[in-house]
Amino acid sequence: MEDGIVLAMRGICKSFPGVKALNNVDFTLRKGEIHALMGENGAGKSTLIKVLTGVYEKDAGSIEIEGYPGEVHIHSPQQAQNIGISTVYQEITLCPNLTVAENMFIGRTNDTVVHWKEYEKRATEILDNLGIPARAKQELSRCSLAVQQMVAIARAVDMNCKVLILDEPTSSLDDKEVAMLFQLMRDLRARGVGIIFVTHFLEQVYEVSDRITVLRNGELVGEYAVDKLPQVELVAKMIGKSLDDLAELEQIGRHDSTHEDVVYEATDLSSAECRPFDFQIHKGEVNGFTGLLGSGRSESVRAIFGADQVTGGKVKINGRDVRISNPHDAMKNGIGYLPEDRKRDGIIADLSVRENIILALQTIQGMNRPIPRAKAEAFADEYIEALQIKTASQDTPIKSLSGGNQQKVILARWLLTHPQYLILDEPTRGIDVGTKLEIQKLVLKLAEEGMSITFISSEIEEMLRTCSRLIVMRDRKIVGELSGDELTQAQVMKTIAGGEEER
């Protein structure tokens, strides 16, 4: 193996029944580099990582690791760890009720007697060394998510690791926390650790990475130095087409719908989770709620859908007074809601793609009118085709689909009910660029056809591209409403940060 290379994967192949997940993929990681692994959902990033960490066994190909002559065969995550490959996953896999030190050392020693004193001392050293703002004796749950993430990394790094895999480490962190994490990554790079960075945030790739490997449909597209690959080209390589699509999206643009009828109107609506607010949406309008995490934007739409206990307020649908006190009421009134947390609130993991698609329509129809099997199959086929959901079959459990495809299934579920008002809370979170674009396009198309849509996203750009009106929230209150020329990133930021008072 060449000097300076810590990990060389060559010609890796891996198939699952009906899917070729990896086809002849090469991946090279050098000492002291941050190497971004990019690709759409289903491109094979996770599979490659899982092959590397011994979760899956590869069908073909070789893996070489610095310090181990010849090929290594990795059969289990434990073994991967022993030869210096550590992984920190998106979801933090530590125990929140234990202390930082306990978390760093639990399960790592074979000693019969546990020397917590000594561990605490060592933990403190490591934390200081890496500049992680946590104390060894602190309970982990009292640390912020970013610090928890960093503790997980500290644990990984301390296990004599050569290859550190960070799988979507930033998806639940805010900007400041991301900056902290990046600093830690740079420090580790300086110490010679090779870092594989998997993320969906393009800007972050350009902020910290040295090199990018792009995968598409299980195949290697190429390996590039960051400064040689402009962001637009990266996106083009990931989705495998030029950026005409994005341009097309700009062209569809937003259209003014304020002269149309009001579809949904709420006055003083409040729920157990949010303060009273007024809100209305027109036919064919796309609006958005924006604000920082925790500003109450999700809580507001949950109140609209009756997802939280509604405590007061008046609601009119098409000018008619209605009572919406639970999701079923909302659905009966033609409202659909794609929840923010897909895993927790969206998918029914063990049910098939088909069952997940028809579920909402079924509950609207009622228990006594089951959707016949043939019809359900036809619906599933129709939407798998229309939204290009990648699944082995409609009988596949939804949990075995990639994140983006799961999201499409949930989207299909609501589209099948033909709602007049559809709420999409973070429909593009944690999914790849190509699918993001598809979803944005779909939103605009649906609005064109007359559907009213509320679109929430943490990425302001995305909202600016799709929404004709933005409602800005801070501290669980509506603090501004922007439309027309006010829809610029700067103006949104300014309103979020505070300045303007409520109209």
User: Which residues form the interface with other proteins (CB under 8 A)?
Assistant: 15, 17-20, 59, 305, 307, 326-328, 331-332, 337, 339, 344-351, 355, 358-360, 362-365, 367-371, 377, 393-395, 413
- Please give the torsion angle defined by the CA atoms of residues 403, 165, 171 and 468, in that order, rounded to the nearest 10 degrees: -70
Say which DSSP state 227 is in: G
CB nearer to other proteins: pick between 345 and 486: 345
CB of 277 to other proteins, least distance (A): 21
Are the C-beta atoms of 178 and 148 separated by less than 8 Å?
Answer: no
CB nearer to other proteins: pick between 71 and 395: 395
Three-state secondary structure call for residue 463? helix
Q: Which residues pair with 480 in a beta bridge?
A: 472
CB of 401 to other proteins, least distance (A): 15
CB of 28 to other proteins, least distance (A): 26
CB nearer to other proteins: pick between 202 and 371: 371
Q: Which residues pair with 25 in a beta bridge?
A: 12
Question: Residue for token digits 């895993």?
Answer: 343
Three-state secondary structure call for residue 413? helix
CB nearer to other proteins: pick between 47 and 148: 47
Query: How would you list the strands of the sheet with 19-30, edge to edge?
Result: 19-30, 5-16, 60-65
Q: 34-38 and 211-216 as β-strands: parallel, antiparallel, unpaired?
A: parallel
3-state secondary structure 297-324: HHHHHHHHHCCCCEEEEEEEECCEEECC
The two counts, helices (H) then strands (E), for the chain are 17, 19
Give the whole-angstrom CA distance, residue 60 versus residue 234: 28
Are the C-beta atoms of 47 and 58 separated by less than 8 Å?
Answer: no
CB of 279 to other proteins, least distance (A): 20
* Element housing 454 (H / E): strand 452-456
CB of 350 to other proteins, least distance (A): 5
CB nearer to other proteins: pick between 70 and 372: 372
CB of 339 to other proteins, least distance (A): 6
Give the whole-angstrom CA distance, residue 25 versus residue 45: 10
CB nearer to other proteins: pick between 176 and 343: 343
Are the C-beta atoms of 274 and 312 separated by less than 8 Å?
Answer: no
CB of 217 to other proteins, least distance (A): 14
CB nearer to other proteins: pick between 117 and 344: 344
CB of 253 to other proteins, least distance (A): 32
Closest CA to 73 of 12, 116, 118: 12
CB nearer to other proteins: pick between 140 and 301: 301
Question: Residue for token digits 């619906």?
Answer: 379
CB of 276 to other proteins, least distance (A): 23
CB nearer to other proteins: pick between 75 and 228: 75
